Chains A and B, each alone.
Chain A
Amino acid sequence: MNLLTIFLSAFLINNVILAKFIGMCPFMGVSTKLSSAIGMGIAVIFVIFGASVLSWALYYYALVPLGLEYMKLICFILLIAAFVQFVEMFIKKNSPSLYKSLGIYLPLITTNCAVLYVALDNITQKYNLIETIVNSIAVPAGFMLVLVIFATIRERLTASDVPEAWQGNPIALVVAAIMAIAFSAFAGLV
């Protein structure tokens, strides 16, 4: 499959949040401030890329040769959790400034189902390594794009005159629904 098609599909058309409804927890939780959204987005890109490539390698170089494909779910969960621990420890030791800006979001990513979704999707779609890399960058990049747009809208909403019953999450979910409709227009792109 064309790499550009994979990228555009994962980035805009089949956006992980607005089309698949995956990763809603950080989408709602870490979108109240733009700075938090950017930090979370960068951390998600880094973790999803690393975890997906490692999962792909584990599947094709260990599970498939041994006939243990049915183990992929449990193996990927453990691998993702271990990878997040490793990244957090590595950043703590080597880059305090990076830890200051991203470290707080790393434990949150362990509970982000988008990480597992990308790892499993790469296997389900039978992507090769290059396609896996492109997909593993495009999906979290789409996540970050939507998160940042959503955060800017939510920042403006705090200054808006929203009826009391709609304040907070209700109006945020309405905004998310309108964004999903807007993003569905990208379906004609490819």
Chain B
Amino acid sequence: MSVIFAILIAAALLGLNAWLYVANKNTPVPEGCENLKPDCNGCGITDCTLRRKQEEH
């Protein structure tokens, strides 16, 4: 029974995460904030979304 609860909790959190991710992506960015650039450097995380944005610019 404990295993079923574990799976349910993990699935619920994963579902919540996926739903909020999609909802956040679909929420329009406020006017004037479309081209905000992070003032961030010195970090080695290569798969960071902000780093990719910086490289695109």
Chain A interfacial positions (CB closer than 8 Å to B) = 25-26, 28-30, 32-33, 36, 62-63, 66-68, 71, 74-75, 78-79, 81-82, 85-86, 88-89, 92-93, 96, 99-100, 103-105, 107-108, 111, 168-169, 172
Contact of B38 with A105 in the complex, beta carbons under 8 Å:
yes
Nearest chain B CB to A103 CB, angstrom units: 7
Q: Which chain B residues border A89 with CB–CB below 8 Å? A: 20, 23-24, 27
Interface residues of B in 8-27 (CB under 8 A from A): 9-10, 13-14, 16-17, 20-21, 23-24, 27
Of A30, A85, A99, A103, the residue contacting B39 (CB under 8 A) is: A30
Cα separation A26 to B32 with both chains bound (whole Å):
25
Question: Could you tell me the distance between the alpha carbons of A168 and B41 in the complex, rounded to whole angstroms?
Answer: 10
Residues of B within 8 A of A169 (CB): 42
* Nearest chain B residue, comparing its CB with the CB of A95: B30
Partner of A99, one of B10, B14, B30, B38: B30
Cross-chain contact B27 with A68 (CB below 8 angstroms): no
A82 touches B32 (CB 8 A): no
From residue B40, how far is it (CB to closest CB) to chain A in Å? 5
